[in-house]
Amino acid sequence: MTNVNFDFSGKTALIYGGTTGIGRETAKAFAKAKANVFVTGIGAEHGKSLVDEIKKAGHAAVEYMDADVSKEADIVSAQEKAIAKFGKVDIAFNNAGISGPNGPIQDMSPETYDKLMNVNLKGIFLGMRHQIPHMLKNGGGCIVNTSSLFSEIGFPGTAVYCGTKYAVAGMTRSAAFEVARFGIRINSLAPGPVNTPLLHEMFGSEAEANRIVTRFVPAKRISHPSEQALVVLWLCSDAASFVVGHNVRVDGGGFEASAIDM
């Protein structure tokens, strides 16, 4: 990870979708920055390994629970447990997401559509539905939702996934304008290609993701999850105190046709 220092002493960060990829690196980064960290995800073994890793690094204020973000009861339970453990939630990172199969829209089943919408969009809606009232009662806070570079461009074979991420960016921006005057800042992170299982699934394998994606990216590489994590921390820090309602692209220049190697 790049050597950038933040201080979130006395703050609590609640992270949904925090056991792998960007979420995992963000949890570790918040812990390193002295925040209390409450993480949710799917897969107790991943959660345990994350907690063990954070504690081994000398940061004991971390808790984990399994949670399905498409279920409101899980969203509520995680937030209540974070508040019971650490007093309140100052920061929320709604990061849980899935890629779904890659293929033409006419080949997507209604069940696939529903699953993508329930995790990628409904999960963020449910998170904000409960995070905002808590922050209103406690003097403000910061929320970051994970969208995607695919919230601003189209890409063949990912129509439904893109639809969920366009919706995340729009919902984030609108919600941000509703609560900015109350000291709550909401933004979305729009990662370009990141070396995570989600990207590998989207393109079939890690090797295939690298082969296809780097042709389109001006920076000619795929980012590490820690690079995305640092932007999340920046958005939640005082350094970004006047950043409201933005869909922040962290994408190595995006997908540019002119950048393809011929």
Does 161 qualify as catalytic in the annotation? yes
113 occurs within a structural domain: yes
Per-residue model confidence as pLDDT tens digits over 89-99: 999 999 999 98
How far apart CA 237 and CA 257 sit, in angstroms, is 35
Q: Which domain holds residue 159?
A: 12-250
Per-residue model confidence as pLDDT tens digits over 28-40: 999 999 999 999 9
175 occurs within a structural domain: yes
Backbone angles phi, psi at 251, to 5 degrees: -140, 10
Average confidence (pLDDT) over 242-261: 81
For 103, the 3-state DSSP assignment is coil
89 occurs within a structural domain: yes
Degrees to nearest 5, angle at CA 205 with 202 and 207 = 125
pLDDT of residue 31: 98
Beta-carbon contacts of 149 under 8 Å, excluding residues fewer than 6 positions away, are 190, 191, 192, 193, 249, 251, 254, 255
pLDDT of residue 204: 80
pLDDT of residue 262: 36
Q: Which one is catalytic: 16, 64, 161, 166?
A: 161
pTM exceeding 0.85:
yes
125 occurs within a structural domain: yes
More confident residue, 55 or 206: 55
- Does residue 22 come out as left (phi exceeding 0), alpha (psi in the -120 to 50 range) or beta? alpha
Give percent of the chain above pLDDT 70. Answer: 96
Residue 102 pLDDT exceeds 90:
no
pLDDT of residue 201: 79
Residue 260 pLDDT exceeds 90:
no
Degrees to nearest 5, angle at CA 132 with 129 and 138 = 145
Q: How many folded domains does the chain comprise?
A: 1
Q: What is the CATH number of the domain that holds 229?
A: 3.40.50.720
How far apart CA 101 and CA 152 sit, in angstroms, is 20
257 occurs within a structural domain: no
3 occurs within a structural domain: no
